[in-house]
Amino acid sequence: MTRPTRRSPGGRLLRSRLGRALRWLLPRVVVVVSRFVVRTSRFEFVGKEHEDRFVAHGGQIIFAGLHESMMLLPYHFRDRAGGVVMVSASRDGDLIADTIERFGLSAVRGSSGRSGGEALREMVLRLRTGGVSAGIIVDGPKGPPLVAKSGAIALARETGLPIVPGTWWARPLVRVRSWDRTLVPLPFSRVVFAFEEPLFVDAAATDAELDACCAELTRRLRAARARAQRACE
């Protein structure tokens, strides 16, 4: 007997009569809250040299982040106008796409499970012709949390660009009751961004080597997360 597909409470809400109003309102609320948190909080950076060695001189990177940390990532990259971010082709993704575009970033819709091939080709084209950087939430859109999927690895193989793993933690913060337990830093908090060494993917990598790269990306992101948590103690 086939079990019915479980839908998240958030997904059901977005499909309700209130969904249209919420899809308009929530991105604007996130932008306002993010700006208020940023203006009232103290930010620190750990391992930022791993990012700066490329972007400080106009170079391109593929930033790999975690789904739980999405709230502050667009603000961190707000000064890199035109940067492209892969966003799920779903109703939840509609909210994320609208939000990041308000920070000057551009959404390419798709994921590893839906429209993934088309999205990857579009990302490659944008990176090759636009001279911009890319961002991928590697454990989205449905998880499991803190486990990297293949999207960033495939993009790095096609473009030769480095993957820079990074995430943040804050104290105090609250966590949303969602599959990724989204992090929401409170105003006047201490926020620490942590980055790990970049990961390069050989254009001729075998399937086994690509799997190893995914595992290594997962390890580095979890290491960045742990570093950010320790720095907040």
The domain defined by 11-231 folds into Glycerol-3-phosphate (1)-acyltransferase (3.40.1130)
pTM of the model: 0.86
CA distance 58 to 60: 7
Q: Which helix (H) or strand (E) holds 65?
A: strand 62-65
Number of neighbouring beta carbons within 10 Å of residue 233: 7
Q: Is-cis flag, bond preceding 141, omega within 30?
A: yes
Residue extents of the structural domains in the chain: 11-231
**Exposure of 42 by Cβ count < 10 A (0-12 exposed, 13-18 middle, 19+ buried)?**
exposed
Which parts of the chain have pLDDT scores under 50?
Answer: 1-8, 113-115
pLDDT tens-digit map of 56-105? 888 999 999 999 999 999 888 877 777 899 888 777 778 888 888 888 88
> How far are the Cα atoms of 75, 80, 116, 154, 187 from residue 39, in angstroms, in the given order?
11, 19, 36, 36, 8
Phi/psi at 98 (nearest 5 deg)?
Answer: -60, -40
Q: Evaluate whether 164 touches 193 at the Cβ level (below 8 Å).
A: no
The pLDDT assigned to 78 comes to: 76
The pLDDT assigned to 104 comes to: 85
CA distance 173 to 66: 16
The pLDDT assigned to 11 comes to: 52
